[in-house]
Amino acid sequence: MKKIIGLAAAIAASVVLAQPAAAQLRDKWCANAHLRFFVGGAEGDAFGTIVYNGARQAAADTGAKVDYLFSGWDRERMIQQLRESVAQKPDGIAMMGHPGAAAILPLAQQAAAAGIKMMYQNVDVPDARAKFGGGFIGPNLVAFGRALGEEAIRKLGLKKGDHALVFSNWSNEVRSAREGATAQALLDAGLLVRKIDTTSEMSADPNLLIPSFTAAVLSDPEVKLVAFPGGQLLGNAPTFLQTAKKKPGEIKVIGFDSSPQVVAAFEAGWVQIAADQEPFLQGYLPILSLCQQVVYGLAPLNSDTGAGFIDAGNYKIAGALAKEGLR
């Protein structure tokens, strides 16, 4: 019996000795990587600030050296900045997909040839990723947009024949796919939908939308619902509606993203539903993934951040984080 026990102990000891030593945890493990990150908006804008804060947190956690690029949501500027970024040959680039595949593809090809790792956030460019690699952090725009329209139908008492206005930069087919899906969900429910155009400049300065918003609402007294394309415009809903002589709740308001302004609009009853796409993750995860690719040779991350909705029942929970620029 003693011989058997002794043999078992010897085998167990040999197994332990055969195991490789545990890897040491590394601090600032990505410190040798140089990355460039596209924030998308202008410095200080509501959505861009949350993306920026996520990217800065990832840089602090990993130690990566990161250059931050602000584009004011201007597609032409993004492409010029991407061209300059590829020329500088960083280890990795996290790019907003707003310019679309046709504009991005040639530069993605150059990046791949130069060994530059790519990630995309907020708006996907599957053609570029399929041909030249890279991951995507952000929502499935069509599914995300449709979900907002369906949520509005479920919760806001809308019915067949009600009038709705859906705002978006309709000239950008890639970017407006989200609001297009919202409009389609409303149409499928029998609402009468009118599409009103916005511009990238309005995302930077929401007050530029006041004339066309006021004209659209005053020309149709039966409007029951308005859908905005992003947190900058959604947060400015009180100004838009007051200019059009409307009271809180008189026209239901839905849209995308949160911010301190959006939370305040919920509090005062101006906004009813916001679809949350977790912009903090759109900043954090691209930096993390580029570091993993550059340092460890791991595959790019892909994450659908179209997580859920903020409404009158839960906006206070999101509000504290929104005020910190984290949600």
Mean pLDDT for back-to-back runs of 10 residues, the chain (327 residues) = 52 52 82 98 89 97 98 95 98 96 97 98 96 97 96 96 97 91 98 96 92 96 96 95 97 94 95 95 98 98 91 87 83
pTM of the predicted protein model = 0.85
CA separation for the pair 327, 273 (Å, rounded): 15
Residues 168 and 293 in one domain: no
Predicted confidence at residue 199, as pLDDT, reads: 92
In a domain, 96, yes or no: yes
Q: Give the structural domain span for 155.
A: 141-276
Q: Is residue 116 part of a domain?
A: yes
Q: Do residues 258 and 278 lie in contact, with contact meaning Cβ atoms separated by under 8 Å?
A: no
Q: Which amino acid is at 126?
A: P
CA distances from residue 84 to 30, 88, 110 in whole angstroms, order as listed: 23, 6, 12
Q: Is residue 28 assigned to a domain?
A: no
Q: Of 145, 111, 144, nearest to 129 (Cα)? A: 111
Q: Left (φ > 0), alpha (ψ -120 to 50) or beta: where does 26 sit?
A: beta
Same domain? 121 vs 189:
no
- Are 48 and 65 in a shared domain? yes
Based on the domain organization, do 75 and 176 belong to the same domain?
Answer: no
Where residue 134 falls (left for φ over 0; alpha for ψ -120 to 50; beta otherwise) is: left
Number of domains forming the structure of the chain: 2
What span, in angstroms and rounded, lies between the C-alpha atoms of 135 and 185?
28
Q: Find the CATH number of the domain harbouring 267.
A: 3.40.50.2300
